[in-house]
Amino acid sequence: MTSKVLFPSLNEEGWTRNSIKVADNLFSHFITSDFSQTYLFRGEVTSQGYIIHNTINNIPQYIKDTEIALKEYFSKYFNNVSCVVEEYTDTVKTNNFEEEDSKDIRMSVLLSFTDNDNIRHDLFKVLTISNSKVKSVVNYSNYGEVAGKQYKFD
């Protein structure tokens, strides 16, 4: 279970090649990074916030840009990367007040990839986006079905 390269982390693990940990760190970086956080690598930072900013009120473009960005980003570390992003909306009550409803957008992200040992791994996350910000990220282990649709990676 190894990725293409040794991956640095700022936690107690230090450098790792464990595919699951690398994939989880990559996705975390995608969510938390800022497109303009570096001068030396301008335009090279993959950023969820930047995609949301550029595709505000255009969900189909957001989905397309997110799929492309994640596929390119994960392809630097893994082989045979495929990505599916789906959207479904849900009205959620906030602060326990029935009259105060907000419209959250939920995006499911399914990533499939193989590591250097030719072992396939799947990553399934659900993002909740509210007011152009990522509100929560949920990791699912029972991947494969989102909003009644079944997904199968070949």
Look at residue 84 and tell me if it is in a domain: yes
Q: Please report which confidence band the pLDDT of residue 25 belongs to, taking 50, 70 and 90 as the band edges.
A: confident
pLDDT at 113: 92
Task: Determine, yes or no, domain membership for 79.
Answer: yes
Has residue 149 been placed in a domain?
no
What's the total number of domains in the chain?
1
Residue 70 within a domain: yes
Percent of the chain at pLDDT > 90 equals: 14
* Residue numbers of the domain that contains 59: 2-144
Task: Give domain status of residue 139, yes or no.
Answer: yes
The total of other beta-carbon atoms located within 10 Å of residue 91's CB is: 8
pLDDT at 97: 42
Residue 150 within a domain: no
Query: pLDDT tens digits, residue range 72-126?
Result: 999 989 999 999 998 765 555 444 444 334 577 888 888 999 988 898 988 888 8
C-alpha distance from residue 89 to each of 11, 70, 146 (Å): 35, 22, 12
Q: Is residue 151's pLDDT more than 60?
A: no
* Band (143; pLDDT cuts 50, 70, 90): very low
Asked if the structure places residue 30 within a domain, the reply is yes
**What is the domain-level CATH number for residue 97?**
3.10.450
Mean per-residue pLDDT over the chain, rounded: 76
At 38 the pLDDT is 60
For residues 44-54, give the mean pLDDT: 79
User: Residue 68: its pLDDT value, please?
Assistant: 92
In a domain, 89, yes or no: yes
